[in-house]
């Protein structure tokens, strides 16, 4: 029997921030339970640590540089073949709930979130028979300010809350100055951007909070599916992406919790760092709560035993490590993602810290589970064997990239080329990969140096050459 597939896909969830791992005071009981009855990949990477590129890679099954989106200002062409469309054409009901980030540049959401342009439903072109696409956090503010309707701000408008939302977000600025990353990494800039430093609760009721708007809509979609046909639903929560805009009730639940402070950073602003981390943890807890809601809904509908549940993220979050914020950089907090699968045909293995994976593995896996052909140009691995208890493929590597840098890992060692710190962090996405970057780079032993502080490029020659050769093949595959 072909399973239903429910995928929770929050934005910017750092891989090591899960309660099941035990080293942080987090509350993610539903994801922890998912890990216990399924499998969790401890060394999973995103193909690109930035929203639109990562989600385009995921939709098309292709790595960064071959997927059609290279930066956050680009849209995925609606006519591009996606695994969503393959599932739909193969008989699945296919739904999106929340911010897909596939068409955000055009600002064409519309109040129904279907991106109708010249009478064409572009969300349907991408493969979605059901659901809606909405803007993320700052994108929702900008869309409303520029006069572009979308589902979330339309809801706020009809509830008389839009002015309150816009006034709040005016104080959660991303900033206009563009200093190089070295100014941050060497401590010349200490205060986090306002999107992090402003930890005041958002003045909205719980039901109007963006993640809850998406969460409730996803529950309705599950209930509205035709139970006689298999379905696929991806729930794109806007959180835990910055800003740190949790509700008052969410903040209150974390007011006395103490977290380890950021690594490789002067933490003289310790209380601010604690509050930033408390807000981040509150967003994680809230999204985990929605997983619990969906499990109960599936149980109520009699569909739990026939539904594969997947939890992953598009990329990680630096969260102050190295005095950096957000993503885009090739360090582990940015490129590593959670990747958990549980349900029918998944042998319980729990969390496997050294298990290598990539977000690109999921499209091939979903199509395989649906009994559909996996395109020959898909770059991920079909995980159904591992899900059924088989040992992982030996000698595997996975890659990630953005702009002019590329990285590769075999799970222990990580090689990186083309990474620059002398430019503004947001500018990394606009770089270009050039042949000369392969002449020099960084090599880290993630097992013995998890903070990536000791460059082994000139000392571990054999490892360097092996990974460098694999990276060249990955970047320039033979057609």
CA distance 77 to 49: 20
Phi, psi of 453 (to 5 degrees): -110, -20
Q: How does pLDDT run across 302-360, given as a tens digit for each residue?
A: 999 999 999 999 999 999 999 999 999 999 999 999 999 999 989 999 999 999 999 99
**Tokens representing residue 231 in the block:** 């379905």
CB 408 within 8 A of CB 401: no
Q: What pLDDT was estimated at residue 479? A: 41
CA distance 328 to 311: 21
Q: What pLDDT was estimated at residue 97? A: 98
Q: What global pTM score does this model have?
A: 0.97
Q: What pLDDT was estimated at residue 477? A: 61
Q: How does pLDDT run across 152-161, given as a tens digit for each residue?
A: 999 999 999 9
The residue whose two tokens read 């039901």 is 207
CA atoms within 13 A on the CB side of 126: 27
Q: How does pLDDT run across 93-126, given as a tens digit for each residue?
A: 999 999 999 999 889 999 999 999 999 999 999 9
pLDDT at 175 over 80: no
**Tokens representing residue 21 in the block:** 């791992």
Q: Which fold has domain 4-387?
A: Alkaline Phosphatase, subunit A (3.40.720)
pLDDT at 394 over 90: no
Instruction: Report which of 152, 143, 255, 142 is spatially closest to residue 199, judged by C-alpha positions.
Output: 255
pLDDT at 439 over 50: yes
**Tokens representing residue 18 in the block:** 């899960």
E strand or H helix that includes residue 400: strand 398-402
Domain positions in the chain are 4-387, 398-475
Centroid of chain to Cα 429: 16
Q: How does pLDDT run across 289-316, given as a tens digit for each residue?
A: 999 999 999 999 999 999 999 999 999 9
CB 189 within 8 A of CB 179: yes
CATH number of 398-475: 3.20.20.70, 3.30.1120.10, 3.30.43.10, 1.20.58.220? 3.30.1120.10
Q: How does pLDDT run across 122-164, given as a tens digit for each residue?
A: 999 999 999 999 999 989 999 999 999 999 999 999 999 999 9
DSSP for 189-228, written as a single string: --SPPHHHH--PPPSS-GGGSHHHHHHHHHHHHHHHS-TT
Three-class SS of residue 19?
A: helix
């Amino acid at each position: 029997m072909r399973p239903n597939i429910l995928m929770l896909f929050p934005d910017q969830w750092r891989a090591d921030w899960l309660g099941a791992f035990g080293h942080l005071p987090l509350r993610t009981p539903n994801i922890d339970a998912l890990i216990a009855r399924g499998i969790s990949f401890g060394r999973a990477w995103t193909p690109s640590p930035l929203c639109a590129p990562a989600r385009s890679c995921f939709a098309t099954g292709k790595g960064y540089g071959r997927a059609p989106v290279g930066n956050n200002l680009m849209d995925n062409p609606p006519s591009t073949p996606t695994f969503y469309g393959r599932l739909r054409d193969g008989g699945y009901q296919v739904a999106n709930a929340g911010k897909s980030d596939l068409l955000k540049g055009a600002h064409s959401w519309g109040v129904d979130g279907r991106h109708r342009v010249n009478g064409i439903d572009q969300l349907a072109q991408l493969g979605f028979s059901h659901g809606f696409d909405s803007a993320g956090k700052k994108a929702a503010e900008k869309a409303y300010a520029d006069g572009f309707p979308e589902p979330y701000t339309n809801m706020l408008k009809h509830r008389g809350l839009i002015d309150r939302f816009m006034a709040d977000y005016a104080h959660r600025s991303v900033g206009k100055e563009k200093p190089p990353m070295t100014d941050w990494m060497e401590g010349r800039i200490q205060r986090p951007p306002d999107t992090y430093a402003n930890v005041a609760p958002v003045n909205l009721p719980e039901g109007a909070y963006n993640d809850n708007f998406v969460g409730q809509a996803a529950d309705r979609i599950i209930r509205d599916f035709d139970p006689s046909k298999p379905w696929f639903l991806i729930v794109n929560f806007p959180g835990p992406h910055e800003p740190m805009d949790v509700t008052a009730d969410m903040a209150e639940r974390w007011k006395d919790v103490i977290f380890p402070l950021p690594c490789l950073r002067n933490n003289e602003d310790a209380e601010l760092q604690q509050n930033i981390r408390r807000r981040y943890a509150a967003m994680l807890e809230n999204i985990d709560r929605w997983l619990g809601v969906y499990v109960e809904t599936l149980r109520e509908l009699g569909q739990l035993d026939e539904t594969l549940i997947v939890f992953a993220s598009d990329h990680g979050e630096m969260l102050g490590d190295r005095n950096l914020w957000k993503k885009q950089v090739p360090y582990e907090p940015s490129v590593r993602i959670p990747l958990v699968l549980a349900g029918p045909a998944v042998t319980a293995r729990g969390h496997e810290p050294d298990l290598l994976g990539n977000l690109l593995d999921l499209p091939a896996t979903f199509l395989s589970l649906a009994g559909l052909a996996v395109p020959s140009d898909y770059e991920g691995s079909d995980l159904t064997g591992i899900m059924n208890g088989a040992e992982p493929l030996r000698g595997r590597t996975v890659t990630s990239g953005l702009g002019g840098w590329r990285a590769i890992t075999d799970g222990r060692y990580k090689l990186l080329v083309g990474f620059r710190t002398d430019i503004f962090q947001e500018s990394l996405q606009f770089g270009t990969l050039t042949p000369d970057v392969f002449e020099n780079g960084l090599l880290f032993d993630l097992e013995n140096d998890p903070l990536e502080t000791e460059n082994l490029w000139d000392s571990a020659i054999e490892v360097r050459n092996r990974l460098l050769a694999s990276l060249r093949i990955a970047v320039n595959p033979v057609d």
